[in-house]
Amino acid sequence: MKSIPKVPGLVDQRGEPVDSVRVEEKIEEKEEKPCKTTVADLQQVFPNTSSTQLKQVADLINRYGADFGIDDDETLRYLIAQAGAETNNLTRFTEGTTFHLSRLNAVWRSRFNTMKNPTKPGRRNPYDFAKPKGSTIADPVRLFNYVYGGRMGNNKTGDGYKYRGRGIIQITGREAYMKFNSFYRIHYDSTVDVVENPDLVATSSKVRVISGLWYFKERVNSVIKRQGKDKTDRVSKAVNGGRNGSQARLTLYEKAAINIQCHKSYKG
């Protein structure tokens, strides 16, 4: 019987020499952290979303997720839950453009007055954004250019609307689009330009998912790793910037916590 060579100077916790096979096994175990999701799991969280759409999302997360630190149950669950909250259960990948005037104060409290007291100094009158005048629906172009203009890198006329939220995590603002564009062109496809064509972040299935994975690695993964109370609120703030839809986000995470877990291999 052929003996297995020991690794000189390397011992285990009991002081016994460690053979090369055990060392290789440990290295492989450390390097390989499969964390894949399945259509069946996603259907438990999003029962009304088509299996075709869920498979598309699952395939892309499974292919690229490990590159962005999606390598454990908790991170995968937060990704799925926040993506669902941002995209109406993985069905809409561009920020909604239909806002009733009555909702403006609820969504952007620091920028709009209520309908009951629309002219209070310091905030905008929601009726000023009606489309057309007299309507109860806000003009989306004027709305986004106001709420997003002059911040998040939006420094040109029309940037607020042009760089509104898109993708599974709804990246928003010229600055985010430029940073993601540079990353994507270097690592995936140099012909893609989401600064010139931001709609690609919504219309390309690959770009929309990778944009969300990229954002999670940049802004969210570190929040997930920190222990403490109210983690879902902290993760939601890192994604959305505030508490918009906080109850829906919590509900989705609770469903994900029950139904989403890492799989070593993908079974669609």
Which pLDDT score, from 0 to 100, does residue 268 have? Answer: 58
- SS3 at position 23: helix
58 lies in some domain? yes
Distance of alpha carbon 18 from alpha carbon 12, whole angstroms: 6
Instruction: Specify the CATH number for the domain of residue 57.
Output: 1.10.530.10
Specify whether 172 is located in the same domain as 158: no
172 lies in some domain? yes
Helix (H) or strand (E) holding 265: none
Specify whether 7 is located in the same domain as 136: no
Specify whether 214 is located in the same domain as 242: yes
Specify whether 198 is located in the same domain as 87: yes
- In whole angstroms, what separates CA 259 from the centre of its chain? 19
- Give residue for tokens 């057309």: 132
Which pLDDT score, from 0 to 100, does residue 101 have? Answer: 97
Distance of alpha carbon 56 from alpha carbon 81, whole angstroms: 16
| Angle, CA of 212, 148 and 164, to the nearest 5° | 40
266 lies in some domain? no
179 lies in some domain? yes
Specify whether 171 is located in the same domain as 254: yes
**Domain stops at, among 120, 145, 163:** 163
Give how many domains the chain has, as a whole number. Answer: 3
- SS3 at position 122: coil
Which pLDDT score, from 0 to 100, does residue 34 have? Answer: 76
176 lies in some domain? yes
Q: Please, which residues have CB within 8 angstroms of residue 170's CB and are 6 or more apart in sequence? A: 86, 87, 95
- Long-range contacts formed by 221-229: CB under 8 A, 24+ apart: 221/68, 221/69, 221/75, 224/74, 224/75, 224/78
Specify whether 191 is located in the same domain as 233: yes
Which pLDDT score, from 0 to 100, does residue 32 have? Answer: 52
- SS3 at position 100: strand
Distance of alpha carbon 162 from alpha carbon 171, whole angstroms: 12
Q: For 56, which DSSP code?
A: H
The pTM of the full predicted model, rounded to 2 decimals, is 0.84
Q: How many CB atoms sit inside 10 A of residue 123's CB?
A: 18
Omega cis (within 30) before 121: no
Specify whether 214 is located in the same domain as 243: yes
Specify whether 106 is located in the same domain as 159: yes
**Domain stops at, among 163, 198, 220:** 163
Specify whether 101 is located in the same domain as 231: no
267 lies in some domain? no
Specify whether 173 is located in the same domain as 255: yes
Q: For 3, which DSSP code?
A: P
265 lies in some domain? no
35 and 80 in contact (C-beta within 8 Å)? no
Specify whether 85 is located in the same domain as 176: yes
pLDDT string in tens for the chain (268-residue length): 444 444 444 444 445 554 444 434 443 444 556 799 999 999 999 999 999 999 999 999 999 999 999 999 999 999 999 999 999 999 999 999 999 999 999 999 999 999 999 999 999 999 999 998 889 999 999 999 999 999 999 999 999 999 999 999 999 999 999 999 999 999 999 999 999 999 999 999 999 999 999 999 999 999 999 988 889 999 999 998 877 788 999 999 999 999 999 987 766 5
Q: How many CB atoms sit inside 10 A of residue 20's CB?
A: 12
Specify whether 9 is located in the same domain as 140: no
Distance of alpha carbon 105 from alpha carbon 90, whole angstroms: 26
Which pLDDT score, from 0 to 100, does residue 16 have? Answer: 53
Quote the domain boundaries for residue 182. Answer: 39-91+166-259
